[in-house]
Amino acid sequence: MEKILQVKDLHVSFSTYGGEVKAVRGVSFDLHKGETLAIVGESGCGKSVTSQSIMRLIPDPPGKIHQGEIIFKDRDIIKMKEPELRKIRGANISMIFQDPMTALNPTLTIGEQIMEGIIQHEKLSRDQAKRVAIEMLNLVGIPNPEIRLKQYPHQFSGGMRQRIVIAMALVCRPDVLIADEPTTALDVTIQAQILELFRDIQKKTGVSIILITHDLGVVAQVADRIAVMYAGRIVEIGTRREIFYQPQHPYTKGLLQSVPRLDAEKAELVPIPGTPPDLFSPPVGCAFAARCPHAMEVCDKVYPFKTQLTSDHNVDCWLQDERAKKLVSSFK
């Protein structure tokens, strides 16, 4: 499949009064054309920072991208200057933020906010831009778009606003859509509608979506592939089927066990004990070792190699090592 976006060995950190927080520590993944890649992980694991780095929206200072490449259409986004970035933002890669209540400017009509993106990138007249905006509002399911265009954000409900934010992001037909927790601030019935909308739009426009979330229920509904992040690294990545049915990393297994299931025999949830490591001074070895039920001596000392399980499925874990497997089987 065609790769539309490649992230290679991305390192991002933030300098604070307490020291340097290494938020992203070597993230690599590919995004294929027309797929939905979900990045999951708990708060503070670096998933939002990764996504904002792709658009270079990390405020600098305090944030800094130390190394890595983000290849989009044969060009490295990290090396681009501001004017070039502005041509890509909104036009080729666009973003949907978590809270639709604050993502829209309260003092501008939603028509103006949708149209300004098109006018900026495609040099259309206001009339043409308006037609595109109406078309877009139709696509995301806002009734009476001609009238609604003239209204302000406070005249819409939360779910409607998220639809508008999505319309705004899609207005220039981007190749990549980054959705940073797009349903977290919405109630469950609206969540389902918005996810349905994502699927629908992807079918119609062929856009590739990076979905950032901590909600495995959302992931199960829309993701083609899933990347699991922990403490600034992707610890396991694979297709939805592989991650849900053959999780290999103890952290992925822990995540899945801590989600309520209707079909489980035991109704009890198993939380992952402990807390994520301090990213001021992340551990040298595997960051999950301190919480891992299978941790070995090597886990604390050396970061595990990437093990390729299938063409899509990778995991960073010492349990995949031949010697560990022998050891485990010798106990049985």
Interacting residues with other proteins (CB under 8 A): 55, 57, 85-91, 94-95, 97, 99, 102-108, 116-117, 120-121, 152, 154, 165, 168-169
Q: How far is the CB of 93 from other proteins (least distance, A)?
A: 9
Q: How far is the CB of 99 from other proteins (least distance, A)?
A: 6
- State which residue, 42 or 116, has the beta carbon closest to other proteins: 116
Q: How far is the CB of 105 from other proteins (least distance, A)?
A: 4
- State which residue, 130 or 249, has the beta carbon closest to other proteins: 130
CA distance 97 to 178: 9
- State which residue, 37 or 104, has the beta carbon closest to other proteins: 104
- 257 by Cβ neighbours in 10 Å (0-12 / 13-18 / 19+) ranks as middle
Q: Are 257 and 331 in contact (CB under 8 A)?
A: no
- State which residue, 154 or 204, has the beta carbon closest to other proteins: 154
- State which residue, 103 or 201, has the beta carbon closest to other proteins: 103
Q: How far is the CB of 135 from other proteins (least distance, A)?
A: 18
Q: How far is the CB of 88 from other proteins (least distance, A)?
A: 7
- State which residue, 3 or 87, has the beta carbon closest to other proteins: 87
Q: How far is the CB of 171 from other proteins (least distance, A)?
A: 9
